[in-house]
Chain A
């Protein structure tokens, strides 16, 4: 998982302390990132498998109000099994959960524009790129 923050690393480490305390397999820390460079760092720039020309892409998105660990466990197991069975699918597929802050989004009333669902913090989707 990535915690991406507009501000300095010391503040981000403070916000992230409970996640850091969980341990995990690897930790990497980055600082002094310019906004355009976030895309390369997160594998969603024009050179990435998920963006570059010449591929078809399928993605199916949903909004959620909160995470459901039980459902995510089921998704994780399916993803793990399918990508183990079909390695080429594993190389070109991801299941992504995007967790966004909402402050400025909900400051605008929902009726003010045609954009619905201002107050859903989570967007998740499975995506595959193939030729």
Chain B
């Protein structure tokens, strides 16, 4: 079944919501393709500390607009945001590899090669988690 939807640039954890993430910059799966969540903001309505409600955009209150995209938590209460959406585009794929600690140096040495733009296309994210895997053999202890 083909599902079409519009996509915001969200962070990499759904419980963080979108607004707080945008005000601090944010990181997420779409970073290489479209930038940070903060980069999608076109306009905000903000209640300042003196109680006034203002608009910030590239055309009005430009300094405030600059600060809201990356340091926005410090500057007021955002009540309304206009931001870019994108078409959903291709669906995603994922490969999950589980390594034991004995391969740590191999994996991260190889991973450094992947940091160059040649090896790291805009739509690819590499994610590593050290965690306990009690279901694996006892000598493995932690996997990543």
Give me the interface of A with B, judged by CB distance under 8 Å: 1-9, 11-13, 15-16, 18-20, 22-35, 38-39, 41-42, 44-46, 50-52, 65-70, 72-73, 75-77, 79-80, 83-84, 87, 90-91, 93-105, 107-108, 112-116, 118, 121-123
Contacts and interface: CB of A to CB of B under 8 A. Distances in A.
Contact of A75 (B69, B98, B100, B130): B130
Interface residues of B, number: 74
Contacts of B59: none
Given A26-B97, A80-B141, A94-B131, A33 B110 contact: no
A6 B90 contact: yes
Contact of A6 (B89, B96, B112): B89
A95 B104 CA distance: 14
A7 B35 contact: no
A76 to B, nearest CB: 5
Contact of B97 (A27, A51, A67, A100): A27
A97 B128 contact: yes
Closest 6 A-B residue pairs measured CB to CB? A101-B32, A115-B70, A114-B70, A51-B15, A99-B126, A6-B123
